[in-house]
A and B are shown apart, each in its own frame.
Chain A
Amino acid sequence: MSSDLRDLYQEVILDHSKKPRNFHAMPDPDRKAEGYNPLCGDRETVFLDLEGEVLKDVSFQGAGCAISTASASMMTESVKGKTRAEADALFERFHDLITGKPEAAGSPDLGKLTVFSGVREYPVRVKCATLPWHTLKAALDGEGAPVSTESEGPAAESGGA
Chain B
Amino acid sequence: MSTAVREAAVAYDVARIRRDFPILATEVYGKPLVYLDNAASAQKPLAVIDAERDVYEKCYANIHRGVHWLSVHATDAYDAAREKTRRFMNAREAHEILFLRGTTEAVNLVAQTYGRAHVGAGDEILITGLEHHSNIVPWQMLCEEKGARLSVVPLDETGDIDLDVLERMLTPRTKLVSVAHLSNALGTILPVKRIAALAHARGIPVLVDGAQAIPRMPVDVQDLDCDFYAFSSHKIYGPTGVGVLYGKTALLEAMPPWQGGGDMIRSVTFEKTTFNALPYKFEAGTPNIAGGIAFGAALDYVSAIGLDRIAAHEHDLLAYATGKVSAIDGLTIIGTAREKAGVLSFVLDGVHPHDIGTVLDREGIAIRTGHHCAQPVMDRYGLPATARASFGLYNTRGEVDALVAAIHKVIGMFR
Contacts and interface: CB of A to CB of B under 8 A. Distances in A.
A66 B378 contact: no
Nearest to B409: A1
Interface stretch (B169-177, B328-336, B349-357): B349-357
Contact of A40 (B39, B41, B211, B369): B369
Q: Which of B104, B362, B409 has the most chain A CB within a 10 Å cutoff?
A: B362
B413 interface: yes
Q: Which of A18, A41, A42, A122 has the most chain B CB within a 10 Å cutoff?
A: A41
A1 B413 CA distance: 7
Contacts of B249: none
B373 A40 contact: no
Q: Which of A9, A17, A161 has the most chain B CB within a 10 Å cutoff?
A: A161
A128 interface: yes
B184 interface: yes
Interface in B350-379: 350-355, 358-359, 362, 368-373, 378
A2 B409 CA distance: 10
A5 B362 contact: yes
B372 A161 contact: yes
Interface string B102-131: 001000000000000000000000000000
Interface string B382-398: 01110000000000000
Contacts of B188: none
Interface in B24-44: 29, 39-41
Q: Which of B358, B359, B373 has the most chain A CB within a 10 Å cutoff?
A: B358
Q: Which of A1, A2, A65 has the most chain B CB within a 10 Å cutoff?
A: A65
20 contacts: A1-B409, A5-B362, A8-B358, A14-B413, A17-B414, A40-B352, A41-B370, A41-B385, A42-B354, A63-B352, A64-B352, A65-B353, A65-B354, A67-B355, A125-B358, A128-B354, A157-B373, A160-B41, A161-B40, A161-B373
Contacts of B235: 161
Q: Considering the complex of A and B, which 7 residue pairs feature the smallest CB-CB distances, nearest first?
A: A41-B384, A65-B352, A65-B354, A40-B354, A161-B184, A41-B385, A160-B40
B409 A40 contact: no
Interface of A: 1-2, 4-5, 8-9, 14, 17-18, 38-43, 63-67, 69, 122, 125, 128, 157, 159-161
A66 B356 CA distance: 10
A146 B240 CA distance: 35
Interface residues of B, number: 33
Contact of B371 (A17, A67, A157): A157
A4 B385 CA distance: 25
Interface of B: 29, 39-41, 104, 132, 184, 211-212, 235, 350-355, 358-359, 362, 368-373, 378, 383-385, 409, 412-414
Given A4-B29, A43-B384, 14 more contacts: A2-B29, A9-B355, A39-B354, A40-B354, A41-B384, A41-B385, A63-B352, A65-B354, A66-B414, A69-B352, A161-B39, A161-B40, A161-B41, A161-B372
B370 A40 contact: yes
Q: Which of A2, A64, A125, A128 has the most chain B CB within a 10 Å cutoff?
A: A2
A161 B211 contact: yes
Nearest to B369: A40
Contacts of B104: 159
A8 B355 CA distance: 10
A161 B212 contact: yes
A80 B372 CA distance: 37
Q: Which of B184, B211, B378, B414 has the most chain A CB within a 10 Å cutoff?
A: B414
Contacts of A17: 414
Contacts of A63: 352, 384
Given A9-B413, A41-B370, A42-B384, A2 B354 contact: no
Contacts of A65: 352-355
Given A66-B414, A157-B373, A41 B378 contact: yes
Contacts of A39: 354, 370
A66 B378 CA distance: 20
Contacts of B413: 1, 5, 9, 14
A8 to B, nearest CB: 7
A41 B373 CA distance: 11
B358 A40 contact: no
Contact of B362 (A4, A38, A42, A161): A4
A2 B362 contact: yes
A67 B369 CA distance: 15
A159 B384 contact: no
Contacts of B373: 157, 159-161
Contacts of B370: 39-41, 157
B86 to A, nearest CB: 25
Contacts of B355: 9, 65-67
Nearest to A125: B358
A2 B384 CA distance: 28
A124 B379 CA distance: 24
B372 A66 contact: no
Contacts of B41: 160-161
Contact of B353 (A5, A14, A40, A69): A40
B40 A40 contact: no
